[in-house]
Structure formats: C-alpha cells, structure tokens
Amino acid sequence: MASILVVDDDPILLNTLHSILGRAGHEVKTADNGELGLAIARRWLPDLVVLDIVMPGISGLELCRILRRESTVPILMLTAMDDEEDKVSGLQSGADDYLTKPFGARELLARVQALLRRTAIQRQPMAIPPSLDAKPSTYCLKEGELELDLISGRATLAGKLLNLKPKEFDLLAFLMHHRGQLFSQEQLLREVWGYEDCSDTRTVVVHIRRLREKLEADPSSPELLQTVRGLGYRFTE
C-alpha cells in the first residue's frame, strides 16, 4: 500500500480517483486546489502525487515545480487530450509521467504502479556486473568526467553535482550500464519506466533532451547520448 495525494479542482474526477486508488489498497488524500495540495504534501510526505495541470491559484505546473525543488516524490500529471504543450510543459516542470484525459481505471493503476515500482527499485542498490568500475562500499558508473553513484543517486560531471531528476538518473544509469547497446523508445519505456503500453514515447524524447542539456557540451551534436535515426538511443562505447 502506498500513500497517494491527488490534486484536482474537478470534484467528480477527484472523487473518482479517490475511489479507484482506494479500492486498489492505497491510502489516498485529496485536495481541490494547489495551495491545499502543497500544504498536504509538505505535512504528509506522500509516496506519489497525482496532479492536474489546469487549476486556479497555484497551477499544476507551478505546484509540480515546487514539489520537485523540495523532494523526489514521483509525480503523475493529468493532461488534456492531444494537448502536446501541456505534456511537454509537465515533464519539463519535473513530472515523471503524464496521463491523458479521459483515461480508464486500468491505465491509471498501471501508471501508478509503474512509478511506485521504479521508486522502490531506485532505493535499492543496482546489481552491477564485475566488469564495471566499482569503488569500496559503493558502485559507480563512469565515462570520462561523468560519474554516477548508484547507491546515493548522485551524478557529477567534472566534479560538479548534476541536478538530475529521478527518472533522468534512472534513464542515464540504464544507458550507461548498457553502453554501446541500442534501445528503441519503446524498449526504454518498458525497461526504465516499467510500462506495458509503450505507444506514447514522448516521455523518452523529453527526458533524453533534458539529459543532453545537462551533459553535453553541444546538445545539438551529442557525443554521450547518441541517436540512431529511426532506431533509438545508445550511450557511447
């Protein structure tokens, strides 16, 4: 059972989400505006936040940015149908994933379970093959001046701490762990996000772009996170 905060100004949807998540065995609290949602999140420290983008007062995007500055709680954004800008804005604000309205109970629960599962895995040390560089009492992935500590979840570049969001760290660690191996966007959704439905791959595209902006000297001509057009992505060998 996980503790889940749902923030949405639509009372019907709010009650529906509370019912679906509650029947699945989760402890659920709700808020019908951003201010109340922020107060509950700070006091209750939920395991996951489900957050609508469009709300009066503190918008969903602004609330997402505040929560991301203060914690690594997984955030699932609710977006309008076919609104590409909302989806990209949500991911850029720090959301881990988005769900397009209208959606069914099975899809909601699948996304929630995938986020919770990835968070649980992230809290555990990753099993690293002996061929990879290991330091006493911790495991590291290295490439030049880039270093990922898989125990602490810290990433540094040239000795400076990188501000990677949880899913950015997961994605980078996965690709570095399988350096030189090519993965399609659908494969990354399955392996990193834990999704079974991999039809919408824009989450991967946005996360790759954000990583390049933080890692690459020239994000438009990446050397570490390489694209093979029409096939997918790989970390340089």
30 or 203: which leads in pLDDT = 30
Picking from 74, 148, 78, the residue whose alpha carbon sits closest to that of residue 115 is: 74
pLDDT digits (tens, 9 = 90+) for 219-235: 999 999 999 998 999 99
Taking residues 103-109, report their average pLDDT.
Answer: 91
Tell me if the bond preceding 102 is cis, omega within 30° of 0: yes
pLDDT band at 89 (very low <50, low <70, confident <90, very high): confident
Question: In this structure, are residues 211 and 225 in contact, taking their beta carbons and an 8 Å threshold?
Answer: yes
| Predicted confidence band of residue 83 (pLDDT cuts 50, 70, 90) | low
Higher-pLDDT residue of 28 and 54 is: 28
Give the rounded distance of the alpha carbon of 47 from its chain centre.
13
Taking the C-alpha atoms of residue 54 and residue 71, their distance in angstroms, rounded to an integer, is: 22
Residue 66 has pLDDT above 70, yes or no: yes
Cα 119 from Cα 2, distance rounded (Å): 11
63 or 136, greater pLDDT: 63
Q: Is the pLDDT of residue 167 over 70?
A: yes
85 CB contacts (<8 Å, ≥6 apart)?
A: none
Query: In this predicted model, what pLDDT tens digit does every residue of 31-40 receive, in sequence order?
Result: 999 999 999 9
* pTM of this prediction exceeds 0.75: no
The predicted pLDDT at position 46 comes to: 93
What pLDDT, on a 0 to 100 scale, did the predictor assign at position 82?
63
